[in-house]
Amino acid sequence: MNFGFTEEQELLRAEVRKFLDQNCPLEEVRKLCETPEGFSRSLWERMAELGWVGLTISEEGGGVGLGWVDLVVVLEEVGRSLFPSPLLSTVLAAKAVDLNGTEAQKSRWLPGLADGSRIGAVAITGDEGRLDAAGIALEGRPDGDDFTLDGEKLLVMDAQNADILVVAFRTGSGEEDLSLAVVERSAKGLNIEPHRTMDLTRRMGRLHFDGVRVSADALLGSAGSAWAAIEHLQDCAAAAVCAEMVGAAEGALKLTTDFANQRVQFGQLIGRFQGVKHPLAEMFIDIESFKSLCYYAAWLLDECSPEAPLAVSRAKAYASESFARIGVDSVQLHGAVGYTWEYDIQLYLKRAKWARPAFGDAEHHYQRVAKLRGF
Amino acid sequence: MDFNFTPEEEAFRDEVRAFLDENLPENGTRDMEAVAEFQRRIREKRWVGFSWPKEIGGGGGSIMEQVILKEEMARRKAPALGACFMGLAWVAPALIEYGTEEQKQRFIPDILDGKYQWCTGYSEPGSGSDLASLQCRAVREGDEYIVNGQKIWTSIAMWSKWMILLVRTQTDVEAKHDGISCLLVEMESPGLTVRPIKNMAGGDMFAEVFFDDVRVPVENRLGEENQGWKVTVSALAHERSSISEVYGLTRSLERIKVLAKSCHRNGRPASEDPGFRSRFARADARIEAMRLNGMRFLTKQLRGEPLGSETSINKLHRAQLEIELGELALEIEGGLGVLVQGDSAVPDDGLWQRHALSWPEVVIGGGTPNIQKNIIAERVLGLPKD
Ligand SMILES: Cc1cc2nc3c(=O)[nH]c(=O)nc-3n(C[C@H](O)[C@H](O)[C@H](O)COP(=O)(O)OP(=O)(O)OC[C@H]3O[C@@H](n4cnc5c(N)ncnc54)[C@H](O)[C@@H]3O)c2cc1C
Buried b (16+ CB within 10 A) or exposed e, B111-134: bbbbeebbbbbbbbeebbeebeeb
A269 touches A301 (CB < 8 A): no
Distance A94 CA to ligand 1 centre (A): 55
Candidates B282, B290, B376; nearest CB to A366: B282
Which 258-277 residues of chain B touch chain A by CB within 8 A?
Answer: 260, 271, 274, 277
Domain B118-226 in CATH 2.40.110.10: yes
Q: Where in chain B is the domain with CATH 1.20.140.10?
A: 241-380
Round to whole Å and give the CA distance between A52 and A59.
13
Residue A13 in contact with partner chain B when CB distance is under 8 A: no
pLDDT tens per residue, range B249-278: 999 999 999 999 999 999 999 999 999 999
Q: Is 80 exceeded by the pLDDT of residue B237? A: no
List the Cα angle B1/A13/A117 in 5-degree steps: 110
B380 neighbourhood in chain A, CB within 8 Å: 281, 284
Task: Report whether residue B359 contacts ligand 1, using a CB cutoff of 6 Å.
Answer: no
The pick from B364, B372, B385 for probing ligand 1's pocket by mutation, whose C-beta has the most ligand atoms within 8 angstroms, reads B364
Candidates B260, B285, B293; nearest CB to A369: B285
Round to whole Å and give the CA distance between B232 and B90.
8
Burial class (CB in 10 A: 0-12, 13-18, 19+), B102: exposed
pLDDT of residue B226: 97
Type of residue at B65 = E
The reply to whether residue B281 touches residue A2, judged by beta carbons under 8 angstroms, is no
Round to whole Å and give the CA distance between B352 and B269.
18
A78 touches A87 (CB < 8 A): yes
Q: How far does the CA of residue A318 sit from the closest CA of chain B (Å)?
A: 7
pLDDT of residue B238: 63
Mean pLDDT taken over chain B? 94
Beta pairing class for B117-121 and B160-168: parallel
Round to whole Å and give the CA distance between A69 and B340.
49
Task: Report whether residue B252 contacts ligand 1, using a CB cutoff of 6 Å.
Answer: no
Three-class DSSP category at A2:
strand
- pTM for the model stands at 0.96
CB pairs under 8 A between A and B: 157
Please tell me the CATH superfamily of domain B7-83, with its number: Acyl-CoA dehydrogenase/oxidase, N-terminal domain (1.10.540.10)
The reply to whether residue B384 touches residue A288, judged by beta carbons under 8 angstroms, is no
Q: Is 50 exceeded by the pLDDT of residue B235? A: no
Where are the strands (E) in B156-256, listed by range? 160-168, 180-186, 192-197, 206-217, 221-222
Q: Which residues contact A14 (CB under 8 A, 6 or more apart)?
A: none
Q: Where in chain B is the domain with CATH 2.40.110.10?
A: 118-226
Candidates A292, A296, A366; nearest CB to B281: A366
Catalytic pick among B65, B72, B124, B239: B239
Q: Given the CA of residue B199, which atom of ligand 1 is nearest to it?
A: 1
Taking the domain B241-380, which CATH number applies?
1.20.140.10
Round to whole Å and give the CA distance between A43 and A27.
15
pLDDT of residue B307: 81
Q: How far does the CA of residue B136 sit from the closest CA of chain A (Å)?
A: 30
Candidates B67, B289, B374; nearest CB to A293: B289
Residue A68 in contact with partner chain B when CB distance is under 8 A: no
- For residue B108, give Cα distances in angstroms to A165, B40, B142: 69, 15, 27
Buried b (16+ CB within 10 A) or exposed e, B159-176: ebebbbbbbbbeeeeeee
pLDDT of residue B310: 86
Residues in chain A: 375
Domains belonging to chain A, first-starting first, are: 7-114 (1.10.540.10), 120-225 (2.40.110.10), 228-372 (1.20.140.10)
Q: Which residue has the higher pLDDT, B216 or B176?
A: B216
Candidates B278, B289, B372; nearest CB to A370: B278
Q: Is the dihedral of CA A231, A232, A233, A239 positive or negative?
A: positive
Nearest to A260 by CA among A279, A247, A277: A277
**Catalytic site residue B65?**
no
Burial class (CB in 10 A: 0-12, 13-18, 19+), A213: middle
Round to whole Å and give the CA distance between A135 and A360.
13
Residues in chain B: 386
Round to whole Å and give the CA distance between B344 and B332.
18
Q: Running DSSP on this structure, what letter comes out for residue B367?
A: S
Is residue B239 very low, low, confident or very high in pLDDT (cuts 50, 70, 90)?
Answer: low
Q: Is 80 exceeded by the pLDDT of residue B344? A: yes
Round to whole Å and give the CA distance between A254 and A88.
24
Q: How far does the CA of residue B329 sit from the closest CA of chain A (Å)?
A: 13
pLDDT of residue B125: 98
Which 233-262 residues of chain B touch chain A by CB within 8 A?
Answer: 257, 260
Residue B318's beta-bridge partner residues?
none
A312 touches A294 (CB < 8 A): no
- For residue B282, give Cα distances in angstroms to A270, A306, A371, A373, B289: 32, 21, 12, 12, 11
Q: Quick one: angle between helices B7-23 and B32-44, nearest 10?
A: 150
The reply to whether residue A3 touches residue B383, judged by beta carbons under 8 angstroms, is no
Is residue B234 very low, low, confident or very high in pLDDT (cuts 50, 70, 90)?
Answer: low
Task: Report whether residue B316 contacts ligand 1, using a CB cutoff of 6 Å.
Answer: no
Which 78-137 residues of chain A touch chain B by CB within 8 A?
Answer: none
In chain A, which residues have pLDDT < 70? none
Q: Where in chain B is the domain with CATH 1.10.540.10?
A: 7-83
Which 64-103 residues of chain B touch chain A by CB within 8 A?
Answer: 64, 67
Average pLDDT of the segment spanning B134-160: 98
Task: Report whether residue B189 contacts ligand 1, using a CB cutoff of 6 Å.
Answer: no
A247 touches A80 (CB < 8 A): yes
The reply to whether residue B386 touches residue A2, judged by beta carbons under 8 angstroms, is no
3-state helix, strand, coil in chain B (%, to 5): 50, 15, 30
The per-type count for chain A, helices as H runs and strands as E runs, is 11, 9
Q: Which residue has the higher pLDDT, B28 or B264?
A: B264
Residue B84's beta-bridge partner residues?
none
pLDDT of residue A109: 98
B324 touches B332 (CB < 8 A): no
Q: Running DSSP on this structure, what letter comes out for residue B171?
A: S
Element (H, E) at A217: none
Query: Nearest residue CA, atom 13 of ligand 1?
Result: B153
B317 neighbourhood in chain A, CB within 8 Å: 285, 289
CA-nearest residue to B4 within chain A is A1
Three-class DSSP category at A147:
strand
pLDDT of residue A15: 98
pLDDT of residue B232: 85
Mutating which of A266, A307, A366, A368 best tests the B interface, going by the most B Cβ atoms within 10 A? A366
Q: Is 60 exceeded by the pLDDT of residue B77? A: yes
Task: Report whether residue A173 contacts ligand 1, using a CB cutoff of 6 Å.
Answer: no
List the Cα angle A240/A245/A249 in 5-degree steps: 160
pLDDT tens per residue, range A300-328: 999 999 999 999 999 999 999 999 999 99
